[in-house]
Amino acid sequence: MNGLSKKIIVPVIILFIVINMLLYFLRSFLQSIGIDVNFVAGANLLLFLISISGLLIQNRSVKSANTNAFIRGIYSSLIIKMFTVVAALLIYVAVLSHELNKAGIFLAMAFYIFYTSLEVFQLMKIVRKKTNE
């Protein structure tokens, strides 16, 4: 992994750690309002892993001189993220349909927005850096 890859992944790692710390310290409060903290922590881990993989795919595609490779990298990352999240949600609903934690799902959706925003911001930094070179 080169220096640029490490540089774009570090903010995602920091976000993952911050969310986990918040879940740990706010555990009793979140449980009191009906949020399954274990589900949300699992969703956070899943989002972290697919964000890292998406950033690595996008970073590799940005280095290509072919514009189509860049677009394919963006779409590949999007499709992987979308299908993984949908599959995980379907498995969760199928396994625990009688104990569905809607508040936890909405909190996980907020985390999805955080990770996606950070991923887009990091990708914009990569592209900006490439155009300035």
Q: For 28-70, what is each residue's pLDDT tens digit?
A: 999 999 999 999 999 999 999 999 998 888 888 877 777 788 8
> What value does the mean pLDDT of the chain take?
87
Write down the pLDDT at residue 107.
94
- Residue-wise pLDDT for 94-114, tens only, equals 988 778 888 999 999 999 999
Task: Give residue 78's pLDDT.
Answer: 87
User: How far apart, in whole angstroms, are the C-alpha atoms of residue 107 and residue 85?
Assistant: 14
Give this prediction's pTM: 0.87
The predicted structure's pLDDT at residue 129: 73
Checking if the pLDDT of 14 tops 90, the result is yes
What's the CA dihedral at 53, 88, 32, 110 to 10 degrees? 50
